Structure 1
Amino acid sequence: MGAVGGENSRMRIGLLGAGPWARKVHGPAIAAHPRWSAGGVWARRPAAAAEVVAVSGGPVHASVDDLIDACDAVAFAVPPAVQAELLERVVNAGKHVVLEKPLAADLPAAERAAAAVAASGVRSATMLTLRFDPAIRAWLDAVPAGAGGPGTTATARWLSGALLGGPFAASSWRAEHGALLDVGPHVVDLLDAALGPVVDVDHAHRDEPDLWRIGLVHDGGARSSVVLSLRVPVDPTEFEVALVGGLGADGRGRYVLDRRQADAVACFGALLDDLADAIGSGADLPVDAARALHLQRVIDRIVRAVG
């Protein structure tokens, strides 16, 4: 297999899945990346896989094992339950992985998946898109150390009409679980990164069809309030994270994030850079499978708090 280096030694990354995210994000990012080459695509429907390779390059593989054998790393673009089912096979073959969030459809499956990655010794990265946006990275860097104390409160909202129409409205797992499983990991991850680990869920309520109101407690005493929905008729998406009080570094005690700088293709490209660096150094990424498991544990607490 390849090694991270010059033009003729790029590593090969294959893609499992051929949904809208694979066509619009993974495929273009892989095709454009200077450090990776396309290892091809496997999907349940070969015709769908062919649509992706028309963008990404590489062959359509007849089986999952064929794709694994052809690649140094595998990116997942499949539903959470399928990702958890296939992940152990991929990492046991020594392949590095790019994971989607959530890690699995439920916590027990996520725990098994994360354990398999840890035991294999491969590098892993989770596609927490916002964490690879340079503007959001700068915002997180600006939040002062110790911001997660009891004097800090945070609010976060992600309101979208994504499940009312468009390419993701037909996704069965998104339709079943709504915003919590889809965008919830992104929001929990940002709050957790800014204010310290989430250690408890103070309250959680879901109004049908898909409006979530959640209260989180961080280990330093800070508290966060979250509102999520993918069934609100708004366009563009309403997105904001605000940290207030007890911050002090800029004299205002307020840090607000309300926009992204990079699109998802650029963010996936940045992830591939970080993964290549991690493979070269042997270091774990901050957004690895263990991070995905932590987020899934918080999501599970929220589900249980709703009852």
Structure 2
Amino acid sequence: MNHTPPPQLRCGLIGAGPWAHQTQAPALSAHGGVAFTGVWARRPEAAAELATEHGVAAYSGEEGIDALLADCEAVAFALPPDAQAPLAARAAAAGRHLLLDKPVATDVAAAREAVDAALGAGVASVVFCTLRFAPDTETWIEEQSALGGWFTAQARWLGARYAHGVDSVSPPSPWRRERGGLWDVGPHALSVLIPILGDVTSLSAVPGPADTVHLTLRHSSGASSALTLGLSAPAGAAGTRVELLGDHGKSVMPKWNDPVTAFRGAIDELRAAIRTDRPHPCDIRFGLRLTELLAEAESQLS
């Protein structure tokens, strides 16, 4: 029997901001199945700093993107969504597999262009919705999906990042402040509920205090769900909870706290999708669906 492990996946990283430092780069660097080839950033000094930290090449500028793509088989992204989408399309057109951040884009047309590029090139893709890859929550989602019989669900995803008087220690993210919790934590909530309850067939959205949004969803299984999403809750009100109610009683999603481990899991799933040529359930097409739903919700708020 041949026990030779599959070859390492040569993977580059596009983006060198705080999340790249905290999550993507450490996971890529420590993953035994990956040859971390380099980091691209718009600012040469940012690329150089992160690249030096992990002993890889640094790239910047327009020519640097092409050089990075030439040196890898796959690309991980740590960019704001609307910077990510066109570069993802460019990487896919070059035949590179994609490990994307959520949301893929906040513009439906841009997300569709990235999907078309990925499908046209036949590349594999995974969207890093954290809870789909964190070990405890991934197992819980799979178990509840297999169990079925769910009647309704409630998801509360409230952060205090922009609450009055709160000195947030989280990295600054201008796009998050501009687009709010709907686009930041909304993909997380939907990525948990859709595989369990089915695709969303209808939704309604109403604004709450500050950037808080309340969503009511109907799913293809017939179940309903209610979501409360925001980044500006008082510190004492912040927290995350997903609860399912149905034939088997009640089930609450377990806690998670290690995005690096979750990102390593996403890398594993991308490698498996490449090896088997089977699309992952949380691929770029699922990312497009999340963008479509969130854009529809946002349109109801204006």
Question: Given the two structures, how large is their TM-score scaled by the length of structure 1?
Answer: 0.90
Once the two structures are superposed, the pairs formed by residues 1-307 of structure 1 within 5 Å of their partners are: 6=5, 9-62=7-60, 63-143=64-144, 145=146, 147=148, 152-164=151-163, 165-166=167-168, 168=170, 170-201=172-203, 203-234=204-235, 237-245=238-246, 247-248=247-248, 253-260=249-256, 263-307=258-302
Change (3 A) 1:286 1:161: same
1:124-150 Cα offsets, whole Å, 9 max, x none, are: 01010110111112212322547366x
Report the alpha carbon displacement of residue 103 of structure 1 after superposing the two structures with TM: 0.9
8 Å CA contact 2:243, 2:252 repeated in 1: yes
Mean Cα deviation higher: 227-236 or 54-63: 227-236
Q: Is the 8 A contact 2:37 2:71 kept in 1?
A: yes
Query: Following the alignment from structure 2 to structure 1, what is the Cα–Cα distance between the partners of residues 277 and 233?
Result: 43
- Note if contact 2:69-2:94 (Cα within 8 Å) is conserved in structure 1: yes
**Distance apart, 1:107 and its partner CA:** 1.1
Give the direction of change, closer, same or farther, for the CA distance of 1:258–1:157 in structure 2 (3 Å limit): farther
For 2:107, the aligned partner's letter is D
SS in structure 1 at match of 2:226: strand
Relative to structure 1, the CA distance from residue 168 to residue 81 in structure 2 (aligned partners, 3 Å threshold; closer, same or farther) is farther
**CA deviations over 1:97-122 (Å, ceiling 9, x no partner):** 11111111211111111111111100
Task: Tell me the CA shift for residue 54 of structure 1.
Answer: 3.3
Distance 2:271 2:254 in 1: 30
Letter in 1 for 2:291: Q
Q: What is the deviation of 1:45?
A: 1.0
Q: Report the identity percentage.
A: 37
Matching residue's letter, 2:270:
L
Q: Amino acid of the residue matched to residue 266 of structure 2? A: L
CA distance in 1, matches of 2:145, 2:19: 34
The farther-off stretch of 168-177 and 33-42 is: 168-177
Give distance in 1, aligned partners of 2:13 and 2:237: 29
Instruction: Provide Cα deviations, 1:169-215, integer angstroms capped at 9, x if missing partner.
Output: 632211111111111011011111111111110x2112352111110
In structure 2, relative to structure 1, the CA distance for the partners of 1:238 and 1:289 (3 Å cut) is: same
CA distance in 2: counterparts of 1:171 and 1:266, whole angstroms = 22
Q: Post-superposition shift, 1:300?
A: 1.4
| Structure 1 residue 282, shift from structure 2 partner | 1.0
Q: What are the superposed Cα offsets for residues 10-44 of structure 1, whole Å, 9 maximum, x if unpaired?
A: 22110111111100001110111000011100101
Rate the CA distance shift 1:266–1:97 in 2: closer, same or farther, 3 A.
same
CA deviation string 1:46-68 (max 9, x = no partner):
11112222343311013111111
d(CA) in 1 for partners of 2:122, 2:292: 22
Instruction: Quote how far apart the aligned CAs of 1:155 are.
Output: 0.4
Q: Which amino acid aligns with 1:157?
A: R
* Offset, 1:270: 0.8
Residues 119 and 233 of structure 1: CA distance in aligned 2, closer, same or farther (over 3 Å): same
The amino acid that maps onto 1:204 is A
Q: Number of matched residues? A: 293
**In the superposition, relative to structure 1, how do residues 144 and 21 fare at CA in structure 2: closer, same or farther (>3 Å)?**
closer
CA change 1:54–1:167 in 2 (3 A) is farther
